[in-house]
Chain A
Amino acid sequence: MRIGISAASKDLDALLDPRFGRCPYFLIVDTETKEFEVVDNPGNMAGGGAGIRAAQAFLQLGTKELVTGQAGPNAFEVLVEGGVKIYQAPQVKISEVIELYKNGDLKQITTPGGRGRGSR
């Protein structure tokens, strides 16, 4: 299964970034082979509407599984319309996030988080 994870840096030792809209990278990981690709999140640099920009970019990555900390109301709406399932994980290493996902230990997020929590 290929899943997308909001990440603070570019490898499997990176920590999960709990902010969906403002995370610097998405790691797209194959949970079986541990192969991954790194995609810049354009929402990270957006002046406003970061969550929308991030969600729009995520929809183009071709995975319907997302693991993050939380997604704000606008991002949530775009992701759900795009058929993405969102799972919540703690701020731990990406390699650990993959194990939690594989073991079915992650809870699906069904309500949006606070607006603008990722603002810097």
Chain B
Amino acid sequence: MKLAVLSGKGGTGKTTVAVNLASSLAEKGEKVLFLDTDVEEPNAGLYLKPVLEESLPVTIPFPEIDQENCDYCGECANFCQFNALAVAEGVVLTFPELCHGCGGCVLVCPKEAIQEGKREIGVVEKGWADSIKFWQGRLNIGEPFAVPVTRYLKNGLADVQEDIVIIDAPAGVSCPVIEAVRDSDFALLVTEPTPFGRHDLELALKMVDHLGIPSGVVINRAGKNNDLISELCQERNVPILLEIEFSKLLASLGSIGVPFSRVLPQWQDRFWGMYQSLKEGCPCAS
């Protein structure tokens, strides 16, 4: 089963929920693969403290011009929607930071004068956090495209044997999130009972509906304003699977990098219970 944890709004507790779920399930004997797909700021490792054994470079292609064979016809520059090439008199200029790596210029060049070079934009790191298999992506600072790193990270999922893959997604509802969440069996939407939480939960709900992924909601920092969220969930017919109350104890444990379910066994049981209900309710779960 592939379970994506996302939120729309940043700072609602995606990582908190993802690491507590992972560690509760591992504690109960499930084989867990944890994926931190928040490649611009991967920080689940601060809680799970993995030992990273492998670091694999992620590269994207960019055009390299063979100036000998080029006749400066301009087809490549004309084709490129991202303006990563320009043809001046007797020279082709390339702008690798604008290149999305589609390879179109190579195909349209009538002189076969373009080859693909490779540029490293980040890494995928793999290791273990005790019994949890842990993978994360890391985008180099200043690089504009997160998606290739996420895609590379998820490429390995075809062969995994684990019972459950927990995908910690980035905030927002744009391309990197969609890449992280697509093909998941279930989307766990973490929110908080504030107008911001509700607003961005609506966006996230629209996104997972569009992707055709069944979803349920976790209310973090739950309290007297829960109606803000439960009204929306009722309207949209989405179940609320778990409420994590606004508590100083939970916050303090978070602030020192401890998943609270590790020291509060009742939480381990609650995360386990939520997982069981998901497995029963989700036809695609194995």
Contacts and interface: CB of A to CB of B under 8 A. Distances in A.
Contact of A81 (B82, B93, B95, B98): B93
Contact of A56 (B81, B82, B86): B86
B77 interface: yes
Nearest to A52: B83
Interface string A27-59: 000000000000000000011111011011001
A4 B91 CA distance: 22
A9 interface: no
Given A77-B93, A78-B93, A81-B93, A56 B87 contact: yes
A46, A50, A52, A53 interface centre (most CB from chain B within 10 Å): A52
A110 to B, nearest CB: 17
A49 B91 CA distance: 18
Contacts of B98: 48-49, 52
Contacts of A49: 82-84, 95, 98
Interface in B69-91: 74, 77, 81-84, 86-89, 91
B82 to A, nearest CB: 6
A112 interface: no
What band does the interface of chain B fall in when counting residues whose beta carbon is under 8 Å from A? 10 to 19
A74 interface: yes
Contacts of A52: 83-84, 86, 93, 95, 98
A29 B57 CA distance: 52
A46 B82 CA distance: 8
A50 B88 contact: no
Interface SS of A by simple majority: helix
Contacts of A81: 88-89, 91, 93
Interface in A53-107: 53, 55-56, 59, 74, 77-78, 81-83
A55 B98 CA distance: 16
Interface residues of A, number: 16
A50 B89 contact: no
A78 B81 contact: no
Contact of A55 (B84, B86, B89): B86
A86 to B, nearest CB: 14
A78 B91 CA distance: 9
A48 to B, nearest CB: 6
Nearest to A73: B95
A83 B83 contact: no
B105 to A, nearest CB: 13
A104 B81 CA distance: 38
Contacts of B81: 47
27 contacts: A47-B81, A47-B82, A48-B98, A49-B83, A49-B84, A49-B95, A49-B98, A50-B83, A52-B83, A52-B84, A52-B93, A52-B98, A55-B86, A56-B74, A56-B83, A56-B86, A59-B87, A59-B88, A59-B89, A74-B95, A77-B93, A81-B88, A81-B89, A81-B91, A82-B89, A83-B88, A83-B89
8 shortest A-B CB distances, which residue pairs? Answer: A49-B83, A81-B88, A82-B88, A52-B83, A78-B86, A53-B83, A56-B86, A49-B98
